[in-house]
Amino acid sequence: MNERMTSLGETLLAGDVEAIKRLTEEALSAGTTPQAILEKGLRPAMESLGERFSRGEAFLPELLVAAETMKASMEVMQPAIVRGGVAPKATMLLGTVEGDIHDIGKNLVKMMFEGAGFKVIDLDINVKAARFLEAYHKERPDLVGLSSLLTTTIGEMEKVIQTIREFDPEAKFIVGGAPVTQAFADRIGANGYAPDAGKAVKVGNRIIGRS
Ligand code: B1M
């Protein structure tokens, strides 16, 4: 079991899509649950890569390749997940705020959270506050993630937070993007800020009280 988990992790980091599909199928056939594959195989590998990325020891292409490889494994597990093998532990609503079409960082954040077992509802780019509110109302997520890369659009984050908190004063937010800082996040009332996708999952887990 441990050996299988180690090779799943190593294959994720190697970015070998065909091998990860095969290993995932083998693990499922051997009775390993999708939960175990995610939590013991894929998630630790993705987290270690995220930490190396945060320290400047791993780079964007490696993160993207690992994320694609993880997606391939998750696609293989999808039928088992749908049958109830993995209940997502938390739901996150995510989007790039209105006026901003940058989505590479946001997509990385999404993949890191999915790797950590979150169900992520991605509203995509250029998302109006009203659209965030509509989706919040429908999905009742545990966490809302806002991304912005432009100094001209980070103000939109505060608008989204205020709009949703009028509906639910307890709503929880994580914000990020190159021009965002901890001081800015504190000023607009976000519950947390992460400088990169690697740290975002830790901050998100802390915000919602998950270890
Ligand atoms: Co744009 N762009 N861009 N751009 N672009 C920047 C951001 C810019 C800094 C370039 C520059 O001038 N040096 C500048 C912003 C200046 C400013 O506001 N201070 C800029 C500009 C000005 C513009 C346009 C206005 C250019 C124009 O048209 N005149 C225009 C804006 C369009 C719009 O949004 N309305 C524009 C357009 C574009 C492209 C479409 C060409 C393209 C985006 C393609 C895409 O995203 N699909 C693009 C790109 C690629 C960039 C740069 C070069 C790279 C951004 C990127 O993807 N980085 C960027 C310069 C730069 O950053 N060096 C630039 C890689 C990515 C992994 O990092 O997105 O920072 P990043 O995400 C990180 C963290 O920030 C964090 O984690 C991620 C991973 O570690 N993070 C979060 C992000 N979101 C998070 C959310 C979280 C937590 C962490 O919680 C929810």
Last residue of a domain, one of 50, 66, 84: 84
Q: What is the mean pLDDT of residues 21-40?
A: 89
**Count of domains observed in the chain:** 2
Instruction: Confirm or reject: Cβ of 145 under 6 Å from ligand 1.
Output: yes
Which residues are CB-neighbours of 67 under 8 A, at least 6 positions away?
A: 46, 107, 108, 111, 112, 115
Each residue's pLDDT tens digit, 126-174: 999 999 999 999 999 999 999 999 999 999 999 999 999 999 999 999 9
pLDDT (0 to 100) of residue 85: 47
Mean pLDDT of the chain: 91
From the number of C-beta atoms within 10 Å of its C-beta (0-12, 13-18, 19+), residue 27 rates as buried
The yes-or-no verdict on residue 84 having pLDDT over 60 is: no
Give the Cα separation of 16 and 18 in Å (integer): 6
In this structure, the answer to whether residues 94 and 197 fall within a common structural domain is yes
Q: Residue 120's beta-bridge partner residues?
A: 92
Cα of 15 vs centre of ligand 1, distance in Å, is 25
Each residue's pLDDT tens digit, 40-79: 898 789 888 988 988 999 998 998 899 889 889 988 987 8
- Nearest-CA residue for ligand 1 atom 46 is 102
Cα of 171 vs centre of ligand 1, distance in Å, is 27
Domain that residue 72 falls in: 2-84
Last residue of a domain, one of 68, 84, 100: 84
The total of other beta-carbon atoms located within 10 Å of residue 58's CB is 18
Last residue of a domain, one of 84, 119, 152: 84
Q: Which amino acid is at 138?
A: K
Atom of ligand 1 nearest to the CA of 60: 67
CATH value at residue 111? 3.40.50.280
Distances from the Cα of 171 to the Cαs of 114, 129, 137, 141, 167, in angstroms?
A: 20, 14, 11, 9, 9
pLDDT (0 to 100) of residue 82: 61
Atom of ligand 1 nearest to the CA of 103: 46
With CA atoms as reference, report the closest residue to 45 among 87, 4, 88: 4
